[in-house]
Amino acid sequence: MNKKTPLFKVMAYTFLSLFAIMNIIPIFWMIVNSFKEEQEYAANPFSFPTTLHFSNYTKAWEIANMNIYFLNSLLITFVSLIVTVLLGSLAAYFLARFTFKLRGFTYALFLLGMLVPIHATLIPIFLIMQKLSLIDTYFSLILPYTAFHLSLTVFILEGFMRGFPKDLEESGIMDGAGVFRIFWSIILPITRPAMATVVILNFIYNWNEYLFALVLITSNSLKTLPLGLANFVGVETASYTLQMSALTIALVPILIFYLLLQKQLVTGMTAGAVKG
């Protein structure tokens, strides 16, 4: 039905291309310059490198402690993610498949969390962690990451589980399986599509988180990737090409992750925004 005149096409492609260039150029420019020698970059930041200096990467990897930050980020991201999904799916199961007096209230309580800005809780959480001597430990990040992503997790999983037919659990009850058994072997396996969305969302949010890490982590050996990078760039001001190499190292995995799981990421993050 859409008639597209040539003029419209030209204008549309011009606009789209400008937008795409705006999005790609900063990253492209950074990656290109990360291969230059410092003098070459300083002489002309707006040219292609004459030779590719991969040594920047090995240097950046070492000086920036990238291995430590990567490991910390992986550990904190995955532990938080597993705890969130486990507790969240269990809670979602009882909220979706059972009737009890405080069901509506509990559900509403969980949803409330999507409205809470983390900075409104930052100071008390810092002081609580300090009191519990958890400050500057993995736990000080795992706990808030879990707590703040339970809302969205419960919301998405509950909505999905609610849609299952009512007599789904019957075969399990007939076999005399308990409620937890039914959860584990009947409900969880068919929740997989929603689980994928939730896992991806939790991963990306935890992986990118900065504010909690900034406040709750001080030891260099415990810093996550965003915090470590921000510090590195703040300190290592002498070499821009090293900074760019470090940033590229951190950027590439997330870009690959995005390109591989684009569909789930886009739908998940959109749902997270619209509902949150």
Identify residues 86-105 at the interface with another protein (CB under 8 A). Answer: 87-88, 90-91, 93-95, 97-100
By residue count, the chain amounts to 276
For the segment 166-195, give every residue that binds another protein (CB under 8 A): 166, 169, 178-180, 183
Q: Which listed residue (10, 112, 190, 235) binds another protein by CB under 8 A?
A: 112
The least distance separating another protein from the CB of residue 62, rounded to whole angstroms, comes to 19
- CA 110 to CA 91: how far, in whole Å? 10
Q: Which DSSP string do the residues of 60-91 spell out, in sequence order?
A: HHHHTTHHHHHHHHHHHHHHHHHHHHHHHHHH
- Could you say which of 1, 7, 174, 238 contacts another protein (CB under 8 A)? 1
List C-alpha distances in Å: 259 to 32, 101, 131, 208, 253.
20, 45, 43, 17, 10
Could you say which of 204, 217, 222, 249 contacts another protein (CB under 8 A)? 204
**Cβ proximity of 217 and 223 under 8 Å:** yes
Per rule CB under 8 A, is residue 30 in the interface with another protein?
Answer: yes
Among 68, 71, 134, 230, binds another protein (CB under 8 A): 230
Chain center to CA of 116? 18
Task: Considering only the stretches 51-59, 64-72, 82-90, 188-196, report the one whose residues sit in contact with another protein under the rule CB under 8 A.
Answer: 82-90
Among 10, 23, 175, 256, binds another protein (CB under 8 A): 23
> CA–CA separation, 195 vs 193, rounded Å?
5
- Among residues 123, 190, 256, 260, which is the contact residue for another protein, using CB under 8 A? 123
> What is the C-alpha to C-alpha distance for residues 50 and 52, in angstroms, rounded to an integer?
7
Interacting stretch for another protein, rule CB under 8 A, among 12-20, 63-71, 155-163, 188-196? 12-20
Show contacts with another protein in window 234-253 (CB under 8 A).
240, 243-244, 247, 250-251
If the CB atoms of residues 71 and 114 are measured against another protein, the closer one turns out to be 114
In the bound complex, what is the minimum distance in angstroms from residue 55's beta carbon to another protein? 20
Residues 256-275 binding another protein (CB under 8 A) are: 257-259, 262, 265-266, 269-270, 273-274
* 29/234 Cα distance (integer angstroms): 20
How many whole angstroms separate alpha carbon 49 and alpha carbon 4? 42
Listed in sequence order, the DSSP H helices in the chain are 6-33, 38-43, 55-63, 66-97, 103-112, 122-131, 138-162, 170-174, 179-182, 188-190, 192-208, 211-216, 225-235, 240-260, 262-275
Min dist. Cβ of residue 216 to another protein (A)? 10
Are the C-beta atoms of residues 77 and 203 closer than 8 Å to each other?
Answer: yes
Q: How far is the CB of 54 from another protein (least distance, A)?
A: 20
Q: How far is the CB of 168 from another protein (least distance, A)?
A: 9
Kindly state the number of chain residues that form the binding site for another protein, as judged by CB under 8 A. Answer: 101
